[in-house]
Structure 1
Amino acid sequence: MPQALINVLRCRALSVLVGLLLALAGALPAAADEDEAATWLERLGPALNMTSYRGVFVYARGENVHSMQIAHRYNNGVVEERLVLQDGGSGEIVRKGMNVVCVLPETGRVKLDQVIPSGPFAEAFTSQLMPVSRWYRAEMKGEDRVAGYEVVSVSLSSKDPYRYSHRLWLEKSTGLLVKSHVRNAEGEVLEQFQFTSLHIGEDIPDSEFKIRTQGREISRTLDEPTPTASVVQRMNGWQLGWRPEGFVPAAAPRSGKGQAVAFSDGLAAFSVFVEPAGPVTMPTGASKIGATTVYMHQVNEGDNAFLITVVGELPPQTARQVAESVRIEDSLALGAGES
């Protein structure tokens, strides 16, 4: 399995809201019947970054449930965030601008590279204005209360079997995302996020954004979102023969030896890793946690073997089709035979 993928999967339970609170800034449904939903989604983009708040949320993926404390503020044009795991051991994430550090006491600090989006919610996709209404049907689902705040609910239903559907709850005065569901075609909730306590608009002191967990520090700055043309150039030595309509190259994450490209339809996202297969045979096929699928497939090209890994918020059958469509064109470009 790619080392970058291993790092992400280890930190995923902690990091999900880092991307989650950057979500959907580009989701702009346009059909006449979706005008009200589009208006709320337009508000959501600024609210995700520019609203100051603190609280506790619960995130569930399949049978895995985690509770986290969060402090978030927009300070002099810079997003600052600190998340602290409340159960299952200690750990925290601190973000300042594009710098994100995952702190795990048992392993030291692990830098979160821009590799795999957390569900559909990723820094790499917030600046892209894609025609989400072509792939999802948006509609209002009424009003409710979450964590003591009045909210409106917006449904984004997939128009094809290649992606999941979403349900969002937005706080009425700010447009802040306070609850979300990811659902399959049968309506089953695969992943969900919800604030259990929330205070919006507080003046949060600097001390709330200091790393407090002891550990070895590895610090880097996340890359800015990569232009599509540059991303396509990263597909050096391989081609993706099929992907669901609407998914376009959106980022070129680091993958160590080999290559990786991320794709987004403006809401959902997945990444494809292509690297020389190691001496240890990796299990192939699909594994799934909540809405996140990891599909591994081996391709032989001459005397060289390559491991294809697709990771993202896709149905397993979609991830399989994507992985099995990869074609190796230039073994040397992918580092085959290098020591």
Structure 2
Amino acid sequence: MRFAAKVRFMVCLLVAWASALASASEDVLRLLERSLSPPDIDYHGTVVLQIGDRVQTLRVTHMNKEGKRVEWVEVLEGEPRETVRIGEEVRCFLPEEKLVLMDRAAGGSGVPYHPRGSVGRIEASYQIEPLGEGREAGREVVGIRFVPRDALRFGQEWWIDKESGIVLKRTIWDEAPVRVLETQFFSDFRVTGLPDVAQVRRKFGAHEDWQRIDLRGRRIEAADTGWAFTVMPAGFELEAVFQRRGPSGKTITQWQIGDGLASVSVFFEPWDGDEIGEKTDDFGATKVVRRREPGALRTAMGEVPDVTLRALLDAMVRHQGAQ
């Protein structure tokens, strides 16, 4: 083949490859967009949550009935616990304490993982890289890596079921140093043989004789909290604000903040102490920073580095005259 002809051939080949890659990228982004929408199928399976050498296994059932999201999550080892959700109402059953915690659903994370956001919003803070196809829980999946554009967030990898759009495996990793912080995956995933929804509804209304603690809050406007954020860390936005009555009887304010992929909550509770101090904890990818100061206990927690949580706490200012 003459040189000019060879060049034309290589150019045509590169154009074909580029077209194929662009098409594959569009397919991946469409699947990602679908995974960011509320699940529209019924399924159940076993979810494994791994943090270091600690492993927790849960049995998960998800259904859509009469326009409501119905979920049942059972912890399969250790202290027995069950969480049942119908619509936006959530009840957590703790048999050893004979206690029922009642709350409202908030945010898009959890077990199983249901993200919230949009592709455009995620792309502002992460580089999206396709990982190709594979298999998880015996099903065909597509992998996507989210590489953070700064040090304010962790990286993630998702393996999304091609048929349903459900995230069957999610890994959260840190770059400094490179290490896996947490992995959540379905060891089995089925769309048939689900429990009857009536069984889940019975669970939701069970144990009327147990002690009940109502943690349900009400949504409020940010301007009504007495606090404001002077500036948000890059890519993060305020999504909602709630207030609820805490176990001590004092009002707790919660700000929900996210970047489309990572989710953070900031809590404020008044207290009578005058100590000043800060404490940091972590549970896998979830970091917690608590600050005590005269009259205020503030806590920031989420699947982000400590620096992001401290930036949020640093940005909080009290309105003049607010309590």
Give the whole-Å Cα distance in 2 for the aligned partners of 1:324 and 1:291: 21
1:268 aligns with: 262
2:60 aligns with: 70
- Residues 54 and 180 of structure 1: is their aligned pair in 2 closer, same or farther, counting only changes over 3 Å? same
Aligned to 2:31, the other structure's residue is in SS state helix
1:20 aligns with: none
Structure 1 residue 197, shift from structure 2 partner: 1.6
Give the whole-Å Cα distance in 1 for the aligned partners of 2:110 and 2:151: 17
Give the whole-Å Cα distance in 2 for the aligned partners of 1:216 and 1:120: 25
1:321 aligns with 2:321: no
Aligned to 2:160, the other structure's residue is in SS state strand
Contact between 1:62 and 1:289, CA under 8 Å: does it hold in 2?
Answer: no
- Residues 283 and 136 of structure 1: is their aligned pair in 2 closer, same or farther, counting only changes over 3 Å? same
1:311 aligns with 2:301: yes
1:25 aligns with: none
1:170 aligns with 2:164: no
Give the whole-Å Cα distance in 1 for the aligned partners of 2:282 and 2:276: 16
- Pick the aligned partner of 1:146 from 124, 136, 150: 136
2:82 aligns with: 92
Structure 1 residue 294, shift from structure 2 partner: 1.1
Give the whole-Å Cα distance in 2 for the aligned partners of 1:129 and 1:122: 17
2:181 aligns with: 190
Contact between 1:147 and 1:195, CA under 8 Å: does it hold in 2?
Answer: yes
2:237 aligns with: 248
Give the whole-Å Cα distance in 2 for the aligned partners of 1:121 and 1:161: 27
2:72 aligns with: 82
**Structure index of larger Rg:** 2
1:290 aligns with 2:284: yes
Contact between 2:47 and 2:184, CA under 8 Å: does it hold in 1?
Answer: yes
- Residues 173 and 117 of structure 1: is their aligned pair in 2 closer, same or farther, counting only changes over 3 Å? closer
Structure 1 residue 279, shift from structure 2 partner: 4.0
Aligned to 2:260, the other structure's residue is in SS state coil
- Residues 86 and 205 of structure 1: is their aligned pair in 2 closer, same or farther, counting only changes over 3 Å? same
Give the whole-Å Cα distance in 2 for the aligned partners of 1:278 and 1:128: 42
**By percentage of residues, which structure has more strand?**
2
Give the whole-Å Cα distance in 2 for the aligned partners of 1:121 and 1:68: 9
- Residues 171 and 223 of structure 1: is their aligned pair in 2 closer, same or farther, counting only changes over 3 Å? farther
1:237 aligns with: 226
Aligned to 2:203, the other structure's residue is in SS state coil
Structure 1 residue 238, shift from structure 2 partner: 2.0
1:28-177 equivalent positions in 2, closer than 5 A: 34-46=25-37, 48-107=38-97, 108-114=99-105, 118=109, 126=116, 131-177=121-167
1:211 aligns with 2:192: no
Aligned to 2:309, the other structure's residue is in SS state helix
Structure 1 residue 222, shift from structure 2 partner: 6.5
Code of the residue aligned with 2:288 in structure 1: it is V
- Residues 286 and 116 of structure 1: is their aligned pair in 2 closer, same or farther, counting only changes over 3 Å? farther
1:76-121 CA distance string (max 9 Å, x none): 2211111111011211011111111111113311113456774699
Code of the residue aligned with 2:203 in structure 1: it is I
Give the whole-Å Cα distance in 2 for the aligned partners of 1:33 and 1:222: 44
Give the whole-Å Cα distance in 2 for the aligned partners of 1:255 and 1:280: 24
- Residues 198 and 129 of structure 1: is their aligned pair in 2 closer, same or farther, counting only changes over 3 Å? closer
Aligned to 2:78, the other structure's residue is in SS state coil
Structure 1 residue 200, shift from structure 2 partner: 1.9
The percent of aligned pairs where both chains have the same amino acid is: 24
Contact between 2:277 and 2:293, CA under 8 Å: does it hold in 1?
Answer: no
- Residues 254 and 223 of structure 1: is their aligned pair in 2 closer, same or farther, counting only changes over 3 Å? closer
List runs of 5+ in structure 2 lacking aligned partners.
1-21, 246-250
Contact between 2:277 and 2:292, CA under 8 Å: does it hold in 1?
Answer: no
Contact between 2:130 and 2:145, CA under 8 Å: does it hold in 1?
Answer: yes
What's the TM-score once normalised by structure 1's chain length?
0.75
- Residues 146 and 182 of structure 1: is their aligned pair in 2 closer, same or farther, counting only changes over 3 Å? same
Structure 1 residue 324, shift from structure 2 partner: 2.5
Code of the residue aligned with 1:320 in structure 2: it is R
Structure 1 residue 280, shift from structure 2 partner: 8.8
Code of the residue aligned with 2:103 in structure 1: it is L
Relative contact order, CA 8 A, sep 6+: which one is greater? 1
Give the whole-Å Cα distance in 1 for the aligned partners of 2:137 and 2:46: 10
Code of the residue aligned with 1:40 in structure 2: it is L
- Residues 57 and 119 of structure 1: is their aligned pair in 2 closer, same or farther, counting only changes over 3 Å? closer
Contact between 1:34 and 1:138, CA under 8 Å: does it hold in 2?
Answer: no
What's the TM-score once normalised by structure 2's chain length?
0.79
Aligned to 2:58, the other structure's residue is in SS state strand
Aligned to 1:260, the other structure's residue is in SS state strand
2:19 aligns with: none
